[in-house]
Structure 1
Amino acid sequence: MDKVVSSAAAAVADVPDGASVAVGGFGLCGIPMNVITALLDRGTTGLRVVSNNCGVDDWGLGVLLAEGRIAHMTASYVGENKEFARQYMGGELEVELVPQGTLAERLRAGGCGIPAFYTPAGVGTPIAGGRETRDFDGRTYVLEEAITTDFALVHAARGDRFGNLAFHASARNFNPLAAMAGRITIAQVEEVTDFAPDEIHLPGIFVHRVVPAGLAEKRIEKETTSR
């Protein structure tokens, strides 16, 4: 039952080229940087990544992107990464843009074993092109398929040896959902500890490897100061 592994490198040692990977984080909050760096160091390439965004040019998933390790990106926001724009415009990167709420629900559905669901988001736009639609109570909805991935990489403030996790503030937005979608989920945690049952945000059934990461570097996405 003890899911703690010795290092981030050991945790990602079996991630193959071409794997699909769900990655937690929201902006620069809750980024699993230790395991992303371990994946970079391992040389894994051709990755098919699902995440809210793709980091920035020198942080988060941006470090994998800069080395050409990501082949396909499913995301809801990509506006902070110049290299992302360059690769996409140059035909080097395949991109699927998904409304943020839809992306969150596709990951959650995948973790819950729900194959698809209907949503009003995207109806009447290119996002709905070629997809099944259905009317409920006079309103049109588009069918969206759930997302599951080979692996998931997430960051948590606290975790225990059984894989139970707790997240801090807005790091709770996408990390639990990404963790649920992965067939093998790797969680870097700032503190390995014990939990009272009502302190758990994500049960350990969704988590397969726990990497002690210590206090993580927390970058500011846009710093605003006043005189």
Structure 2
Amino acid sequence: MINKIARSIADAMAGIPDGATVLIGGFGTAGIPNELIDGLIEQGAKELTVVNNNAGNGDTGLAALLKAGRVRKIICSFPRQADSYVFDELYRSGKLELELVPQGNLAERIRAAGAGVGAFFCPTGYGTQLAGERETRIIDGKQYVLEYPIRGDVALIKAEQGDRWGNLTYRKAARNFGPVMAMASDRTIATVHEIVELGQMDPETVVTPGIFVSNIVKIDRVATQAGGFKKAA
């Protein structure tokens, strides 16, 4: 019987090796799988390459992983925000390598890995330092740069609902990079706020099919006084 529901975050995170490439969902603070990031810190893997749209906020989530010294390199689009002081300190001191990728290129490079595309040409970055020494071409009179897929050893994503086969749906903007990261990784771990019975999810609403998901972990959600949500203590 297929059952991808993990008993705990620790069980789901077991076996992630040192040096792994970890794709972490999230756009700013929307859809960040903070519980899984905390689990990765506790699990102990180091020398990681992390792929995310940003480079962490404040002292929690991705910033906490950076602060713990577990990340060798980060691939992202927007490393600096008003509260990205953890990244700033590590990068300026030479303790963290950065690969800066335009946001659209980042999403497409991840999607290409999941789709089995070997490489593709993109106009963004042509003639800039971002292009580096990569191959360039003129196609139909337009200038393009060769881009390569970004594959992950593991993806950590936040979903809204799942079943024991691993089928997932998302909540609004929390969806962001989750679906393409799940497709682009050898192993995908997702948190969900609700686990439903098989057949309860309308197949037309499933965003990430269970074939791309290795484990799901249920996390609690409690209302705050401001009307938002936070994880249970």
- Structure 1 unaligned residues grouped into runs of 5+: 221-227
Q: What is the distance in 1 between the residues matched to 2:210 and 2:77?
A: 27
Q: Residue 19 of structure 1 corresponds to which residue in structure 2?
A: 20
Q: Residue 132 of structure 1 corresponds to which residue in structure 2?
A: 135
CA apart distance, 1:110: 0.5
Mapped contact 1:57–1:66 kept (Cα < 8 A) = no
Q: Residue 67 of structure 2 corresponds to which residue in structure 1?
A: 66
Q: Residue 191 of structure 2 corresponds to which residue in structure 1?
A: 188
Which whole-Å deviations, capped at 9, do the CAs of 1:119-174 have from their partners, x for residues lacking one?
10001100112101111110011010001111110000111111111111111111
The TM-score with structure 2 as length reference comes to 0.90
Mapped contact 1:75–1:96 kept (Cα < 8 A) = yes
Aligned runs of 1:1-227 on 2, under 5 Å?
Answer: 1-80=2-81, 81-193=84-196, 194-215=200-221
Which secondary structure state, in structure 2, belongs to the residue aligned with residue 37 of structure 1? Answer: helix
Q: What is the distance in 1 between the residues matched to 2:186 and 2:43?
A: 20
Which whole-Å deviations, capped at 9, do the CAs of 1:29-49 have from their partners, x for residues lacking one?
101111111111122211111
Which secondary structure state, in structure 2, belongs to the residue aligned with residue 87 of structure 1? Answer: helix
CA apart distance, 1:54: 2.0
Runs of 4+ off more than 6 Å: none
Mapped contact 1:190–1:216 kept (Cα < 8 A) = no
CA apart distance, 1:57: 2.6
Q: What is the distance in 1 between the residues matched to 2:105 and 2:54?
A: 14
Q: What is the distance in 2 between the residues matched to 1:128 and 1:16?
A: 31
Q: What is the distance in 2 between the residues matched to 1:166 and 1:216?
A: 19
- Aligned in 2, Cα 1:197/1:146: closer, same or farther, shift over 3 Å? same
Q: What is the distance in 2 between the residues matched to 1:58 and 1:14?
A: 26
1:78 corresponds to which letter in structure 2? P
Mapped contact 1:190–1:212 kept (Cα < 8 A) = yes
Q: What is the distance in 1 between the residues matched to 2:56 and 2:191?
A: 17
Q: What is the distance in 1 between the residues matched to 2:167 and 2:37?
A: 21
CA apart distance, 1:214: 2.2
- Aligned in 2, Cα 1:189/1:57: closer, same or farther, shift over 3 Å? same
Equivalent pairs counted in the alignment come to: 219
Mapped contact 1:155–1:187 kept (Cα < 8 A) = yes
Mapped contact 1:163–1:208 kept (Cα < 8 A) = yes
Q: What is the distance in 1 between the residues matched to 2:223 and 2:123?
A: 38
